[in-house]
Structure 1
Amino acid sequence: MKIRHLRNATTLLTLGEHRLLVDPMLARPGALPGFKFFGGGRRPNPLVALPPDTFALLEDATGVLVTHEHPDHLDLAGLRWIQKRGLPVWASRVDAPNLKKKGLDVHELGDGALGMAVEIIPARHGRGLLSWLMGPVSGYYLAHPGEPSVYLTSDAVLTDAVLEAVERLQPDVIIAPAGAANMGVGGDILFSVDELVTLVRRAPGWVVLNHLEALDHCPTTRDGLRERMKAEGLLAKVHIPEDGEELHFERPDMLPHPRPNAGTIKGPGFQKWVTARFTGT
C-alpha cells in the first residue's frame, strides 16, 4: 500500500490495482473562503499550494473516493477535474445521490466494492448542534486481500464508534485528521490532540495524521504534534507526512483480515438536505 499525501486530506491511495484519489481539494491558494468564522484569524483557503507534481501524479488515478462533501474534501476544482477525467467516484449511500446530480459516475461504497472488504463506520464531525449542522459523516475501512487494511476515519472527533471499530477491525493503518479544526464557536470539529493521543495508543499499527497546516481553522502544527507524540512515547507509531510525501506500508502477515459488519447504512435524509445547504454542497 502507498499513501501519497498531497495536501490537507487529499491523498493518492494505492491499494493493489487501485489508485484512488481521496477527497480532492485541488483549488489554488486563497480560492476558497475562510472557515474560521469567529475569534479572528480568518483567511482565504487553502493556505498553501499543492505540490508542483500533483497533476502529473494524478494522471495515474483509477478512481476517486469521497468521504464527505465539504469543500475542503471536494471543491469546485476537484469536481471539474473529476468531470473532465470521467473517473468513477466511490461514496457512501448518504452522499452518492447528491454527487450523481453533479454529473459524476458515482458508485456506492459497500462490502465487496473495489474487490475488497469494506465497512462504513459512522463518525461525528464535532459535538452537539454543530455536529448535526456539519452533516452525516462516515469513515471507511478498506481491506484489500493482498494489502494492509486501512481505516480512513474521515473528519471526526473521538467516539465510542471509532474506538469500537479500531478494536474490532484491527486496521494495519489508520488515516486520521489532526488539525483540531475549530470555527471559533461550538468546540473542535476534528480530533483534539488529546483525542489523537488516545487514538494512537489504541491503534494496533501505524497512524497517519493529515489535515494539517492547510486551512485557516486548523491550528495544530506538524512540529507541535510531533513534540506531543514524542512526549507521550508514541512517535514510533505515527507518520505526519509533509505535502507531497509518499509512505509505503507492507502487510504485517497473511492472516485473513477481520470481516466487516454488514450493517444497514441509511440513505440521505432531512439532515443531509439541511446540511447540504448549510455547507454549500
Structure 2
Amino acid sequence: MKIRHLRNATALLTLGEHRLLIDPMLARPGSIPGFKFFGGGRRPNPLVPLPPDTFSWLEEVTGVLVTHPHPDHLDTAGIRWIREHGLPVWTSRLDAPGLGKRGLTVHSLEDGALGMGVERIPVRHGRGLLAWLLGRVSSYYLAHPDEPSVYITSDAVLTEDLLEAVERLQPDVIIAPAGSANFGVGGDILFSVDELVTLVRRAPGGVVLNHLEALDHCPTTREGLRERMKAEGLLEKVLIPADGEELHFARPERARGPAAPGPGATQERERASLASGM
C-alpha cells in the first residue's frame, strides 16, 4: 500500500490494482474564501499550492473516494478534474445523490466494493450545534486482501464510537486529520491534539496525520505536532508527511482475509522529491 499525501486531506491511495484519489481539493492558492470566521486570522484558502508534480501523479488515478462534500474535501476544481477524466466517484449512499447532481458518476462505497472489505462508520465533525450544521461525515475502513488495512477517519472529533471501531477493526494504518480546525467559536471541529494523543495510543499500528498547514482555520503545525508526540513517547507510531511525500506500507506477515484485520503494519517512509517527482 502507498499513500502519497498531496495537500490538506487530499491523497493518492494505492491499494492493489486501485489508485484512489481521496477528497480532492485541487484549487489554486487563495481561490476559496477563508473558514476562520471569528477571532481574527481569516485568509483565503488554500494557503499553499499543490506539489509541482501533482497532475502528473494524478494521471494514475482509477477512481475517487469522497468522504464528504465540504469544499476542503471536494472543491470546484476537483469536480471539474473528475469530470474531465470521466472517473468513478465512490462515496456513501447518503452523499451519492447530491454528488450525482453535480455531474459525477457516483457509486456507493460499501462492503465488497472495489473487491475489498469495506465498512462505513459515521463520525462527528465537531460537537453540539456545529456538528449538526456541518452535517454527516463518513469514515471508511478498507481491507484489500493483499494489502494492509486502512481506516480513513475523515473529519472527526474523538468519540467512543470511533474508538470502538478502531478496537474492533484493528486497522493496520489510520489516516486522521490533525489540524484542530476551529471557526473561532464553538470549539474544535477536528481532533484536538490531546484527542490525537489518545487516538495514537489506542491505534494498533501506524497513524498518518494530515489536514495540516493548508487552511486558515487549522492552527496546528507539523513541528508542534511532532514535538507533542515526541513528548508523549509516540513519535515512532506517527507519520506526518510533507506535501508530496509518499509513504509505503507492507502487508503484515500473517494470513487474514479482507474483513479480518489485525495489528501491526510495517512502514517505510520515502521522502518524495518534489522536483523530480520520484
TM-score, scaled to structure 2 = 0.92
Deviations 1:173-209 (CA, angstroms, capped at 9, x unpaired): 0000000000001100000000000000000000000
Cα deviation, residue 252, structure 1: 1.3
Cα deviation, residue 94, structure 1: 1.2
2:81 — aligned with what? 81
1:275 — aligned with what? none
User: Residue type matched to 1:162 in 2?
Assistant: L
1:270 — aligned with what? none
**Equivalents in 2 of 1:96, 1:194: separation in Å?**
34
Deviations 1:36-72 (CA, angstroms, capped at 9, x unpaired): 0000000000000000000000000000000000000
**Equivalents in 1 of 2:185, 2:253: separation in Å?**
45
1:136 — aligned with what? 136
2:94 — aligned with what? 94
| Partner secondary structure for residue 216 of structure 1 | coil
Contact 2:87/2:105, CA 8 A, preserved across alignment = yes
1:243 — aligned with what? 243
Q: How does 1:45-84 map to 2 (within 5 A)?
A: 45-84=45-84
User: Residue type matched to 1:44 in 2?
Assistant: P
Coordinate RMSD, CA, aligned: 0.8
User: Residue type matched to 1:211 in 2?
Assistant: H
Cα deviation, residue 254, structure 1: 3.0
Q: How many residues align?
A: 260
| Partner secondary structure for residue 55 of structure 2 | helix
Q: How does 1:32-43 map to 2 (within 5 A)?
A: 32-43=32-43
**Equivalents in 2 of 1:256, 1:164: separation in Å?**
21
**Equivalents in 2 of 1:259, 1:186: separation in Å?**
38
2:269 — aligned with what? none
**Equivalents in 2 of 1:220, 1:56: separation in Å?**
29
Contact 1:175/1:208, CA 8 A, preserved across alignment = yes
2:159 — aligned with what? 159
| Partner secondary structure for residue 249 of structure 1 | strand
Contact 2:126/2:189, CA 8 A, preserved across alignment = yes
2:183 — aligned with what? 183
Aligned identity (percent) is: 81
Structure 1 unaligned residues grouped into runs of 5+: 261-281
**Equivalents in 2 of 1:253, 1:123: separation in Å?**
31
| Partner secondary structure for residue 250 of structure 2 | coil
TM-score, scaled to structure 1 = 0.91
Confirm whether residue 110 of structure 1 aligns to residue 104 of structure 2. no
User: Residue type matched to 2:20 in 1?
Assistant: L
**Equivalents in 1 of 2:208, 2:257: separation in Å?**
20
Structure 2 unaligned residues grouped into runs of 5+: 261-278
Contact 1:149/1:257, CA 8 A, preserved across alignment = no
1:268 — aligned with what? none
2:14 — aligned with what? 14
Contact 2:145/2:258, CA 8 A, preserved across alignment = no
Cα deviation, residue 257, structure 1: 4.5
**Equivalents in 1 of 2:23, 2:258: separation in Å?**
26
